[in-house]
Amino acid sequence: MQQNTLIAKTLYGLEDILSQELKALDAKHIQIRNRAVEFQGDNAMLYKANLHLRTALSVLKPIEKFYAHDPDRLYRRAKRIEWDSYFSPDKSILIDCVSFGDSFPHTQFAALRLKDAIVDYFRSKHSTRPSVDKNNPDIRLDLHIVDKQCRISLNSSGQNLSKRGYRREQTEAPINEVLAAGLLLYAGLENYPVIHDPMTGAGTFAIEAAMKSANIPPGLYRHFSFEPWNDFDPELWKNIKSDAIKNKQNLSGGAERRRISTVQITGSDIDMQAITAAMNNAERAGVENHLTLKNMDFFQSYPKSDTGMLIMNPPYGERLNQDKHITAFYKKIGDHLKQHYQGWDAWVFSSNLSALKHFGLKPSVKAKFFNGPLECRLHKYEMYSGSKKTTDS
């Protein structure tokens, strides 16, 4: 099968983790870029990447690169592309554009000129044209411009790969699924017998940990934009999905239930509505039997095991109004960890760098990430064991 250059886009700080995921899929010629990883693969690799990658936002298939000094030159070069070799004119399209430099300051106009080129190509050759659909397009294209260098790609994923399909019920400020999976992988979730999120919200950390532990591909319950492509191979795709289903661990209960991973995954939240939403999301993800969710105040929680991984995304301060309140809140978290979570590793993710300084603990690891536009830190705090505490939950 023909090998193509493919690009998996990701979030800042997750590039190395994404490259490790691609190595596990046996991708070739992997090269780390800025918020992306480039690799080589055939259609089978492209399908597997969309199905299995937990830290990718999208998988692009570049089809043309050229230099253009202005939008008219972009139009002329794009119109030369044999678009009917990729998709038919009865498909709807949407173009995403990012531009760096002064040549194309208006990304919407650049995207419009690319759309015009595609439409005029089909109209002149087939007397019909694709329509534009901003909500649910059949074909999604990516236009990437750096100064005068333009790269046009087919977006094989379509909707962002963070849209796993399970999180239909939201809580306030939920963490992106790709970011949650990436933070868990960065923290080495496979090294812990217990994983607990005490401020679980919509349950994203717990669900992503359970899907990884149970070997459930993140793309198992959704569709992709490579399916309407002219070269789509439905039999190959069916076999790849079937293999993934065979390899995921059975969570249905009974004798099969005993064969799943022994890792314990738990989440809790002071808000019962959040727990209800998390439970429903877990059921849609197929992991309701692989985690435990409780309505509980973190400051009333005590671990049952001597060691484990606690991961949390506490409020950043917007909902607590005043700096002194959020500082006191973070100090209270640190105090509770010191008193009751000895022997555990606490991974705390926050954009409030000032409040983190008042945590009362010295981090052994500091890593920089972004949650949307917010610059954040992931801190690891090692709770060294002292005298054994009474544990109860």
pLDDT score at 113: 97
Based on the domain organization, do 184 and 141 belong to the same domain?
A: no
Confidence label for 255 from pLDDT (cuts 50, 70 and 90): very low
We report the CATH number of the domain holding residue 103 as: 3.30.2130.30
306 found inside a domain: yes
Based on the domain organization, do 197 and 120 belong to the same domain?
A: no
58 forms beta bridges with 9
170 found inside a domain: no
Asked if pLDDT for residue 29 goes beyond 50, the answer is yes
| Residue with the two structure tokens 């054994």 | 388
- pLDDT 10s digits, 168-195: 877 776 899 999 999 999 999 999 999 9
Based on the domain organization, do 334 and 244 belong to the same domain?
A: yes
Distance CA 164, CA 166 (A): 6
Distance CA 176, CA 187 (A): 16
Confidence label for 66 from pLDDT (cuts 50, 70 and 90): very high
How many domains, the chain? 2
pLDDT score at 374: 93
14 found inside a domain: yes
Asked if pLDDT for residue 391 goes beyond 70, the answer is no
pLDDT score at 317: 80
pLDDT score at 350: 96
pLDDT score at 318: 62
Based on the domain organization, do 306 and 192 belong to the same domain?
A: yes
| Residue with the two structure tokens 């849609």 | 284
pTM of the predicted protein model: 0.92
Asked if pLDDT for residue 390 goes beyond 90, the answer is no
Closest CA to 157 of 81, 284, 51: 51
Based on the domain organization, do 149 and 203 belong to the same domain?
A: no
Cβ neighbours around 127 below 10 Å, total: 8
Based on the domain organization, do 188 and 120 belong to the same domain?
A: no
Based on the domain organization, do 363 and 239 belong to the same domain?
A: yes
Confidence label for 102 from pLDDT (cuts 50, 70 and 90): confident
In a 13 Å sphere around the CA of 334, the CA atoms on its Cβ side amount to: 18
Based on the domain organization, do 286 and 350 belong to the same domain?
A: yes
**Residue 174 near residue 255 (C-beta atoms within 8 A):** no
pLDDT score at 158: 96
Based on the domain organization, do 239 and 361 belong to the same domain?
A: yes
167 found inside a domain: no
Helix (H, G, I), strand (E, B) or coil at 192: coil
Asked if pLDDT for residue 5 goes beyond 80, the answer is yes
Burial classification of residue 200, based on how many CB atoms lie within 10 Å of its CB (0-12 exposed, 13-18 middle, 19 or more buried): buried
Confidence label for 319 from pLDDT (cuts 50, 70 and 90): low
Asked which of 155, 186, 203 is the last residue of a domain, the reply is 155
182 found inside a domain: yes
**Residue 221 near residue 335 (C-beta atoms within 8 A):** no
207 found inside a domain: yes
Based on the domain organization, do 124 and 245 belong to the same domain?
A: no
Q: For residue 79, what are the domain limits?
A: 4-155
Based on the domain organization, do 116 and 189 belong to the same domain?
A: no
Based on the domain organization, do 237 and 286 belong to the same domain?
A: yes
94 forms beta bridges with 140
Asked which of 105, 121, 155 is the last residue of a domain, the reply is 155
Cα–Cα separations (whole angstroms), residue 64 to 45, 67, 141, 145, 157: 20, 10, 12, 12, 18
What Rg value do the Cα atoms of the chain yield, rounded? 23
pLDDT score at 386: 57
Tell me the mean pLDDT in the region 157-172: 89
120 found inside a domain: yes
We report the CATH number of the domain holding residue 197 as: 3.40.50.150
Looking at per-residue pLDDT, the higher value among 297 and 2 belongs to 297
